[in-house]
Amino acid sequence: MDASAAPVGLSLAPGFVSLAALPPGTRGAVVGVGSRSAPLSALERRLLEFGFVPGEQIEIIAEARPGRDPFVVRVGHTTLALRRQEVQSVWVELQHSAPDAPPPAQVVSSANGVESQHAEAYPAGSP
Alpha carbon distance 10, 37 (integer Å): 7
- Residue range 57-100, pLDDT digits in tens: 999 999 888 877 888 999 999 999 999 888 988 999 998 765 55
User: What is the pLDDT, as a whole number, of residue 31?
Assistant: 94
Residues 6+ apart with CB under 8 A from 83: 69, 70
Q: Is the pLDDT of residue 105 over 50?
A: no
Q: Give how far the C-alpha of residue 88 lies from the chain's centroid of Cα atoms, to the nearest Å.
A: 13
Q: Give how far the C-alpha of residue 84 lies from the chain's centroid of Cα atoms, to the nearest Å.
A: 14
Mean pLDDT for 111-122 is 37
- Residue range 8-61, pLDDT digits in tens: 444 445 568 998 889 999 999 999 998 878 888 999 999 999 999 999 999 999
Q: For the chain, what is the mean pLDDT?
A: 73
**Beta strands per DSSP E along the chain:** 16-18, 27-33, 57-63, 71-75, 78-82, 90-94, 106-110, 113-117
Alpha carbon distance 15, 92 (integer Å): 8
- Taking only Cα atoms into account, the Rg of the chain, rounded to an integer number of angstroms, comes to 17
Q: Which CATH number fits domain 16-99: 2.40.50.180, 3.40.50.1820, 2.60.120.20, 2.30.30.90?
A: 2.30.30.90
Alpha carbon distance 45, 5 (integer Å): 21
Global confidence as pTM: 0.62
